């Protein structure tokens, strides 16, 4: 009997949101939140910007969409679903930009990494 081998490509990304997140309800009853994140990398002596298309599925994305604004620094972790087009299904997101834009420095742990992102504790983000 042949056994299929499945592989999940994990992506961890630190970058800035390129445009305000867009939330949509699909005709099939799904909720989708899309946003882009720019991450800088160095190739040799040159800096290069890579753009990632990020998707959050379900009610969690609906709750987060108002906070995902252009220019905010975020940490995104998820599955790379399309290598060529750099698409990520988001499993976890941390907003690293302080709530108060006049604050002098971002907190080092804005959202505990050991605590899953749930609707009960999402209010802490905004």
Q: Is 89 contained in some domain?
A: yes
Q: What distance in Å separates the CA atoms of residue 88 and residue 55, rounded to the nearest whole number?
A: 6
Question: What span, in angstroms and rounded, lies between the C-alpha atoms of 10 and 54?
Answer: 13
Compute CA 110 distance to the chain's CA centroid, rounded to the nearest angstrom.
15
Q: How many residues are recorded in the chain?
A: 126
pLDDT digits (tens, 9 = 90+) for 70-107: 999 999 999 999 888 899 999 999 999 887 655 554 44
Residue at 3 is within a domain? no
- Confidence category of residue 7, pLDDT binned at 50, 70, 90: confident
Based on the structure, what is the number of domains in the chain? 1
Tell me the pTM: 0.71
CATH code of the domain containing 75:
2.40.50.140
33 and 62 Cβ atoms separated by less than 8 Å: yes
């Amino acid at each position: 009997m042949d056994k299929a081998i499945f592989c999940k490509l994990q992506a961890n990304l630190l970058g800035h949101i390129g445009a305000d997140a867009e939330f949509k309800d699909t005709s099939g009853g799904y909720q989708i939140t899309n946003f882009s994140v720019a991450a800088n990398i160095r190739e040799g002596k040159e800096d290069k910007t890579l753009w990632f298309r990020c998707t959050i599925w379900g009610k969690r994305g609906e709750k987060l969409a108002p906070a995902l604004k252009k220019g905010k620094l975020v940490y995104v972790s998820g599955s790379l679903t399309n290598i060529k087009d750099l698409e990520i299904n988001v499993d976890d997101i941390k907003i690293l930009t302080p709530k108060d834009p006049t604050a002098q420095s971002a907190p080092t742990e804005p959202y505990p990494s050991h605590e899953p992102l749930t609707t009960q504790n999402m209010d802490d983000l905004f």
